[in-house]
Amino acid sequence: MEAIELAIGGMTCNACTAHVRKALEAVPGVQSAQVSYAQGMAEVRADTGVAFAVLAAAVAEAGYSARLATPVSTPGSSHATAAHGAGPRIAVIGSGGAAMAAAIKAAGAGAQVTLIERGTIGGTCVNVGCVPSKIMIRAAHVAHLRRQSPFDAGISVTPPAVRRDKLLAQQQSRVDELRHAKYESILLSQPNITSVRGSARFTDAHTLAVTLQDGTVQTVGFDQCLIATGAHPAIPPIEGLKDTPYWTSTEALAAAAIPPRLAVIGSSVVAVELAQAYARLGSQVTILARSTLLFREDPAIGITLSAAFADEGINVLAHTQASKISHADGVFTLHTHRGDIQAERLLVATGRAPNTRDLNLQVAGVKTDARGAIVVNDHLRSNVAHIYAAGDCTDQPQFVYVAAAGGTRAAINMLGGDAALDLSAMPAVVFTEPQVATLGLSEAAAHLRNIETDSRTLALDNVPRALANFDTRGFIKLVAEVGSGRLIGVQAVAAEAGELIQAAALAIHNRMTVQELADQLFPYLTMVEGLKLAAQTFTKDVAQLSCCAG
């Protein structure tokens, strides 16, 4: 028998103590529970071996939170006290942004973490996603500026010689450097984290079987588990496609040569970013978009980006799908209703699917949606109280900063805390040129929620920074709630739009009105000043203002 002291969160009156006590006493092995509203504590008398995680899960199911306080010893319970002092056992499946954030947070709080990774440490972002893609995009930007810029009349053009092997070596060197500094070395420096290399699958709700790289199987028991297995490129069922050497983003980022012609299937973020990068590095690029570019966003975004791509010679075929694909003599042939399209390389970028198929989730009782994504609430908890999930394997937005934030909050909650992930002010950036940045609700999304809106769109020829850059492509659109005037959404297509969107995120997070935004001080000749100007258009004609009118 042992006594376990818990700090209980969420109680609002004495009546809450009965709910917490009932939940705790329903746990197998618990003999009694005494709960104090005034102290915010519960003292549980339980059989030796009853896990804290099970108690915390029971409290969470009742609508409250629990964390370990200093254990209260009873005669003969020194072994149990030491076990609780060591912290709960937490299994983390994956090693990307969500997994690492959770593992570091949990280990720092005293949990014993087992991190399981079947592939390369670091997951998608650092290895085959965000980092290498942004390096490639930046290199393509430099190549483009040497070939063409708004200042060509005064600065002579120098067509670049693109040495793809050198660029690839530079790119991979930085990837290796960041993986070691931000993932591998951190794992080695954390005594509370044990790394296991292999593929994990559930055998029951508290046990994983890990098939190691040598083929042997290791059993990992846990009190709490975080699933952070990421996602993989989704491949459409096009006739003939699977029999061809097509690229996904992984192969496109690691390709040793720039092909003369590149066909891209898809209109997603990955599709448009890599299409423009390859075009700027020397490929003749054709995009097949089932609808329009970035069709889930405000329609003006796709129209503006398509126009910018056309100016660079990128052929965007909207409302076009390939019915059949073949490959012969080093050339792909895509059959469409517009005729055949040929290219030396084909990139398929039609979204990503969650890595959950091999986890045997049904044994643990974890529910997924139709895509196979794990359904979680705002506390990152699945339908199984002690199993959490974060990142691209869930039904949440697929951004690494969302994954990392989710991982951190999941760790807090696994340790008895009460941390929610608020996505109401989540910025998103597409690293094309001009960049696309979005936040909050579009007009269409607001109307689906029965929110009446008022909006203004500011052309960039009203923004002094854009005029000074001789680049006025794009716009900034603000969406406000009618009546309150509160800012609820921002859509921007502009050079460095990603650098201005966070100011808008802070405005939405703090529930600012467009008038309050218009009244703020913004530095002159910055692109973010466009937010102020866009806000001013709700009450005045900014074309009639002086350059830096307040």
Active-site annotation, residues: 11, 13, 16, 64, 125, 130, 547-548
Strands 352-354 and 231-233: antiparallel
Q: Is 474 helix (H, G, I), strand (E, B) or coil?
A: coil
How many CA atoms, within 13 angstroms, populate the side-chain half-sphere of residue 38?
0
Q: Which two tokens stand for residue 313?
A: 């010679």
Q: Is 64 helix (H, G, I), strand (E, B) or coil?
A: coil
Separation of alpha carbons 444 and 129, rounded Å: 30
β-partners of residue 218 are 210
Number of separate helices (H) and strands (E) present in the chain = 18, 25
Amino acid type, 402: V
Under the phi-then-psi rule, with left for phi > 0, alpha for psi from -120 to 50, and beta for the rest, what region is 541? beta
How many CA atoms, within 13 angstroms, populate the side-chain half-sphere of residue 326?
6
Separation of alpha carbons 268 and 250, rounded Å: 15
Q: Which two tokens stand for residue 419?
A: 């941390």
Under the phi-then-psi rule, with left for phi > 0, alpha for psi from -120 to 50, and beta for the rest, what region is 485? left
Identify the H or E element spanning 217.
Answer: strand 217-221
Q: What number of residues does the chain have?
A: 550
Largest Cα–Cα separation, the chain = 88
